[in-house]
Structure 1
Amino acid sequence: MSDPVSTPAPAAWLVRIPEIFEGIAKEVLARFGATSHTRLGLDFYSIKTTTPKLIQQSEAAKFARWNLPLDHSWPCNPQKMDGFIEKAAQTLLKKFGDRSPQGIFVGLLNPTSPDPYYRGLASNLRGRLLTLFPKLTAGTVEAQNPGSETLFCVVGKEGLFCGMQSPRASNGFYPGGSKYIDQDSPDTISRAGAKIAEALHYLLMYRPAMPERSHWLELGACPGGMTSELLSRGQFVTAIDKAPLDKRLNNRPGLKFAHVDVAEYEPAPKAYYDAMLSDLNGPPEESIDHIIRLSGPLKPGGLVVFTLKVPRIETVDEPCALFRRIVQTATEAGLRLFAQTHLTYNRHEFTLFLEKRR
């Protein structure tokens, strides 16, 4: 007699599906093989699945901003519990002390909540954990090695949920995957500046930061939110748009502005670019064609940051099919996709990271 085939035990996992995808969240979880799920906070889900690799490897993975194996769950209301921080810290030390995490970071199940209690709780819990785990090598978020394991925790009125995984596998350096950018400055031109700032932070999981004085070609730059952010980082920008840029960008060092439709723009002779950026509106097929047409002066290994605008997201399959078409078009033109995500400041869109083949 042959041995019976054993069924893998369900694994507990935490996934974050942005609220904008709430209408398809159940379908996404089904694609992950979730046999059960519990909603936590605004857009986190605790699930059980016998196929956890689908969370990171299936087409539906693009709808999950962040994921984490749930090595420890403590459903409780911390605000009503005496000594929560010390009890939690000692439990985590016993559970993870011998696993040598590179760093410990604590986030919120409701990261945009105005209630300061849980923000303070997360900070105080991390502070206590740092005294118990004295040999951490990553003291700040961006000091993490993208491929080494970090102890990530998220806390809220639903309890404490923790696990260890590398930032790259989790799809983000922060617990929950979001880097929130202050947009209250009077110098803020548009939310697009926060979008490229977060994109460049995310990019650190895959390649070094762009050196200062790198030359960017930006398609569809108006009103200039992304342009302003790049210039503030010491980058050079050739910005293209048929609409004018915000007047606050007048005479900014490092900026060249071509006041012309992208379809009519022609690079100068002997031009070269270290990177290209497209946040163009309109059909994504046209946007990627513009990138391809203008990618000749892009240096080998050069970066392309491309916002894939999805007309509507009502099912999992339609945006996935569009994604495949765009990536295939780019690949055939010599642009290799190496990462993609849904940023905090994306709406019905995804940010794709490509590089020109060497």
Structure 2
Amino acid sequence: MPDSVPSSLTPQPRPWLVRIPEIFESIADDVLKHLGAASSTRLGHDYYLLKALDSKALRQSEAAKFTRWNLPMDHTWPCNPQKMDGFIEKAAQTLLKKFGDRRPQGLFIGQLNPISPDKYYKSLASNLRGRALQIFPPLAANAVEEQDPTKETLFCLVGKEGLFCGMQTPRLANGLYAGGSKYIDQDSPDTISRAGAKIAEALHYLLLHRPAMPEGSHWIELGACPGGMTAELLARKQRVTAIDRAPLDKRLDKRPGLRFVHADVATFEAKDGTIYDAILSDLNGPPHESIDHVIRLSRALKPGGLIVFTLKVPRIETVDEPCELFRRTAKTARKAGLQLFAQTHLTYNRHEFTLFFEKRGS
């Protein structure tokens, strides 16, 4: 028997692109270690090009919650597009050659540094996608939210480091956009708070796992002040029972579909016979208290009802401490009949994660 396995039979590390949000940069090395990265190279703003032996372990590791988005690297082209003549045409033809026969459902291209004030790469990504779509066979998904979360999409990211591409289902990638972020305009004079962008992105993310909430769905919102999330739900023609000890923004006065309860969440009781379609909790304070409030009020939630829960983490200095808090919260909810089916770190989250539960039962 040979002393070692021939190198040709040894599993080779596969290149993978993961996005670790800037807020977790101080623990990025720890995250990559937990993900089983054999090596890594920093790219763009939040991205790390790593080599991983086991893609399943990469996704299922507890540390995966610190990665907003991931993509296998089926094609990498290290280059400086700004210094290359005919980059768009060369790149588009390469994409067709490498991926055309694989029949992706859609083609979406983003930037390695999406927050850069330099608009060059934003324009380059748009122009490259436009040219590629001209030469690709017709694709089923022309818009981001037309994608089937379970079918493969060709995602690409471009920046001063080059072009990085791969095919994966949006659900496995953890986002419908290349890079995973849906950026929400917050410059409108009607914007009440940053929280409005958070729930807007959360509802977009939810499309990876279940259909959008129908118009007229009844939400109970815990800790609604000043009303950024309330306003976003009302704009989507949802009904909201908003609860807070502090008043809502005056711009929400007399808005159709809104019932405001000026009270402490801890003392609120649902009226007999009232059934809610969804619970939204962005409460400040200890996470165990917040999930207890959700569990108590979930008695008035319909079976299969949705819970969007913000898990506030007191501090993030290691991978292990937030993971332990996450496990305890999910276990407490599960014992009460609330099943965790998705979790992520949104663009508009800080030291917090957004968790999605469904109420079990027939």
Q: TM-score normalized by structure 1?
A: 0.99
Are the counterparts in 2 of residues 31 and 54 from structure 1 also a CA contact under 8 Å?
no
The amino acid that maps onto 1:221 is A
Q: CA deviation at 1:52?
A: 2.1
The 3-state SS of whatever aligns with 1:295 is: helix
Q: Tell me the residue number matched to 1:322.
A: 325
Are the counterparts in 1 of residues 110 and 156 from structure 2 also a CA contact under 8 Å?
yes
The amino acid that maps onto 2:112 is L
Residue 135 (structure 2) pairs with residue 128 (structure 1):
no
The 3-state SS of whatever aligns with 1:292 is: helix
- How far apart, in 2, do the equivalents of 1:302 and 1:38 lie? 42
Q: Tell me the residue number matched to 2:51.
A: 48
Instruction: Render the CA deviation track for 1:290-342: whole Å, top value 9, x for unaligned.
Output: 00011111000000000000000000000000000000000000000000000
The amino acid that maps onto 1:220 is G
Q: Tell me the residue number matched to 1:336.
A: 339
Q: Tell me the residue number matched to 1:175.
A: 178
Q: CA deviation at 1:134?
A: 2.6
Q: Which runs of 5+ in 2 are unaligned?
A: none
- How far apart, in 1, do the equivalents of 2:203 and 2:161 lie? 32
Q: Tell me the residue number matched to 1:57.
A: 60
The 3-state SS of whatever aligns with 2:299 is: coil
Instruction: Render the CA deviation track for 1:47-67: whole Å, top value 9, x for unaligned.
Output: 011122222111000000000
Q: Tell me the residue number matched to 1:109.
A: 112
Q: Tell me the residue number matched to 1:352.
A: 355
Residue 191 (structure 2) pairs with residue 188 (structure 1):
yes
Q: CA deviation at 1:32?
A: 1.3
Instruction: Render the CA deviation track for 1:29-87: whole Å, top value 9, x for unaligned.
Output: 11111111110011100001112222211100000000000111111110111000001
The amino acid that maps onto 1:132 is I
Are the counterparts in 2 of residues 73 and 162 from structure 1 also a CA contact under 8 Å?
yes
Are the counterparts in 2 of residues 55 and 67 from structure 1 also a CA contact under 8 Å?
no
- How far apart, in 2, do the equivalents of 1:3 and 1:293 lie? 61
The correspondence for 1:38, drawn from 36, 41, 44, is 41
- How far apart, in 2, do the equivalents of 1:229 and 1:55 lie? 34
Q: CA deviation at 1:3?
A: 8.7
Q: Tell me the residue number matched to 2:83.
A: 80
Aligned residue pairs total 358
Residue 292 (structure 2) pairs with residue 271 (structure 1):
no
- How far apart, in 1, do the equivalents of 2:10 and 2:354 lie? 37
The amino acid that maps onto 1:153 is C
Are the counterparts in 2 of residues 153 and 175 from structure 1 also a CA contact under 8 Å?
yes
After TM superposition, the runs of 4+ consecutive aligned structure 1 residues lying more than 2 A away are: 1-7
- How far apart, in 1, do the equivalents of 2:138 and 2:208 lie? 23
Change (3 A) 1:147 1:3: farther
Q: Which runs of 5+ in 1 are unaligned?
A: none
- How far apart, in 1, do the equivalents of 2:272 and 2:251 lie? 29
- How far apart, in 2, do the equivalents of 1:341 and 1:138 lie? 24
Q: Tell me the residue number matched to 1:260.
A: 263
Are the counterparts in 2 of residues 37 and 48 from structure 1 also a CA contact under 8 Å?
yes
Are the counterparts in 2 of residues 173 and 202 from structure 1 also a CA contact under 8 Å?
yes
The amino acid that maps onto 1:278 is S
Q: Percent identity?
A: 75
Residue 200 (structure 2) pairs with residue 197 (structure 1):
yes
Are the counterparts in 1 of residues 112 and 159 from structure 2 also a CA contact under 8 Å?
yes
The amino acid that maps onto 1:51 is D
The amino acid that maps onto 2:106 is G
